[in-house]
Every structure is written in structure tokens, then in C-alpha cells.
Amino acid sequence: MTPILHEYQTSPFSELVRAAFGFKRMAWQSVIIPNIMPKPDLVELTGGYARTPVVQIGADIYCDTAAILAAIDHFQPQPSLYPPPLGPLHKVMASWAGGPQFMAHVGAALGAMPEGALPAAFIEDRKGRFGLDMGALARATPHLTTQALTAAHWLDASLSDGRAFIGGADPGHADLAFYSNIWFVRGNPFAKDTTATIFALPHLAAWYDRVAALGHGAKTTITADAAIATAAAATPAPVTGSIDAPFTKGMAVAIKTDGSGDAPSTGTLLQCDPTGIVIARTGDRCGAVHVHFPRLGQIVMPA
Ligand SMILES: N[C@@H](CCC(=O)N[C@@H](CS)C(=O)NCC(=O)O)C(=O)O
């Protein structure tokens, strides 16, 4: 079974997953999804979750990079995305990089763009779904840039003892999370000054090259229809986790991403513990699937 990444090129969280495939030297399939709503083929698989990226392994659908990286690590354990001595602390750092630091990097990357540089439909989509206000973002950009630069300085200082990666000799999830934020800023032509400031930090610059050198693994491109047919032909993997009170197995639930205006994913609960949430649902075209979420950042409600 080859993992399928539902992604688009300019998405920093997709770049994080592409780099994870590179680190693992894995073969994977890419489905290019729209970068704005509607996303009927993606929602067919997730039941509601519409963020980017999503990874599919047969009839198992993984939402959010926290769940995706854990799934990739389970699928191909070596080399580990959570190497010692940090182990699961990689998740703590990745969660900070993908949370408050992500917004800082969005400001640093997009805030200096002149009006009209982003398509109106994109701005409307982000406004409706995430409350993005381009005027407010532009005003906050000097502040947000300082927040991103503070993280860059911390990273450079951490690497100044000669370690190759954040946790020592081996890269892990945290490296990929910090890298993808910086990749996003670096890829935006209107963020040249901030990029130059970041890459003037010598330890960070050398580390960035080491992470980028992991590559993206071996990609082939498939259609959304082919991905949905793959799910329809597969059977979801058995679920091993437990269900923490007050939730119970088989309960009808809606899983909503905290802070997102997207529709929740609904289904029957199979797992809800600190290692993640799994629901079972059936789509018209994809058949029976299991949809996986990280526990952090997801609200579980009775449906
Ligand atoms: N916590 C999520 C965040 C994902 C996220 O915010 N992705 C952005 C794109 S990089 C997104 O969904 N934007 C809206 C969209 O693509 O429709 C993760 O780690 O996967």
C-alpha cells in the first residue's frame, strides 16, 4: 500500500510531509487538491475536515500533520521521526512551530505582499474559514516578523554547539516543522528581507540545507478519483487505541478542529486517547473509512 498525500505545492504543511517522505526515503502518491473551498473529493474521504494536507493509506485517512507524521512513522518505523534523546518532545516543538509560530511565519511571508498579489477568492476563503483580515495582517506584520525572527535566533543558538539537527545527530519531526515554516517565508518573493535576515544566521542556514537535502522521496501523481477508488477497494486497519471517559465506543460524534470554520467530520467513535482520535464513517464513493485526528486541537462533541 503506497501512502497518498492530498496536497498543493505552496502549502507549508504539505512541505513538512514531503520532507518526512524524503527523510524516510519512501515512495508516495500525490493528489493535488484545491487551495480553497469547495474540496468535494477531499471531503468525500474526511467527512468534513478540509485543511491541507491529508494523508491516505488505503481506507485510513489521516488529518493534520501531527496524526500524519505518527502514521508515517508507524507505516515505516526506520529511521524514526521521534529519535532519542527528544523522543516525543519532537511533537511538543512541532506543535509550537505549527501553532503560534505558524501564524508568525504567515505574517512574515504574506503580510508584505502588495494588494492584488493574492487572488480575491483566496482572501475571501481564508477570511470566511479562518477570520483572516489582510489589512490587520499587514498592520501586524512587523510584530509577527519579530516573532518569527525570535524563533530563528533560538534555533540558531541551539545549533551553535555543533549539533547537526535540533535533537542532536538525527533529524526528527521538530526539524521538519521549523524547516517548513522557514521554507514558506523563503518561497515568497515579497519576504526577501526577512529571508535574508533569517539566512544570515550561519548555524540555521547550514541546518536548513541539511533538512532540505533529505529531499521528498519518490513521488508519482494520481487523480482524486483514483485515490477514492483506492479507499473503496481497501479495508481500514484494526484500531488498537482506547477510549477515554466521558466518551464511549461506538458513540456518534462530530470532530471539529479548534479555531476552524470548516464543517466537523462525523462518524462513530473507535478511539479517543492521548495518541489520537479515530472515527468510522462511510462515504458514497469511498465506502467505509477510518478517519484519524490528533487528540490535541480537536474538539469531540456528541453528534
Ligand atoms: N494543524 C494543521 C494545519 C494545517 C493548515 O492550516 N494548513 C493550511 C495550508 S498549509 C490550510 O489548511 N489552509 C487552508 C486550505 O488549504 O484550505 C496541520 O498540522 O496539518
CATH number of the domain where residue 290 is located: 3.40.30.110
Residue 302 CB-density burial (10 A; 0-12 exposed, 13-18 middle, 19+ buried):
exposed
- CATH code of the domain containing 112: 1.20.1050.10
DSSP result, 83-125? -TTTTTHHHHHHHHHHTHHHHHHHHHHHTTPPTTSS-HHHHHH
**Ligand 1 atom having least distance to the Cα of 52:** 12
Last residue of a domain, one of 212, 246, 280: 212
Q: How many CA atoms lie within 13 A of 254 on its CB side?
A: 9
Last residue of a domain, one of 152, 178, 212: 212
Each of the 303 residues of the chain gets a pLDDT tens digit; together they read 999 999 999 999 999 999 999 999 999 999 999 999 999 999 999 999 999 999 999 999 999 999 999 999 999 999 999 999 999 999 999 999 999 999 999 999 998 898 889 999 999 999 999 999 999 999 999 999 999 999 999 999 999 999 999 999 999 999 999 999 999 999 999 999 999 999 999 999 999 999 999 999 999 999 999 999 999 999 999 999 999 999 999 999 999 999 998 999 999 999 999 999 999 999 999 999 999 999 999 999 999
Last residue of a domain, one of 148, 178, 212: 212
Contacts of 9 (CB under 8 A, 6+ apart): 32
CA of 44 to the centre of ligand 1 (A): 18
φ, ψ at 219 (rounded to 5°): -100, 140
Tell whether 97 and 199 lie within a shared domain. Answer: yes
Measured distance CA(145)–CA(111) in Å, rounded: 9
CA of 299 to the centre of ligand 1 (A): 17
Tell whether 277 and 181 lie within a shared domain. Answer: no
**Ligand 1 atom having least distance to the Cα of 14:** 10
Q: Which structural domain, as residue segments, surrounds residue 245?
A: 4-79+218-302
Tell whether 203 and 136 lie within a shared domain. Answer: yes
- Does 54 fall in a domain? yes
CA of 294 to the centre of ligand 1 (A): 14
The total domain count for the chain is: 2
Q: How many CA atoms lie within 13 A of 80 on its CB side?
A: 11
Strand segments, DSSP code E, in 105-217 are none
Tell whether 175 and 26 lie within a shared domain. Answer: no
- Does 113 fall in a domain? yes
CB 141 within 8 A of CB 108: yes
- Does 84 fall in a domain? no
Tell whether 128 and 31 lie within a shared domain. Answer: no
User: Nearest C-alpha to atom 6 of ligand 1 is from which residue?
Assistant: 51
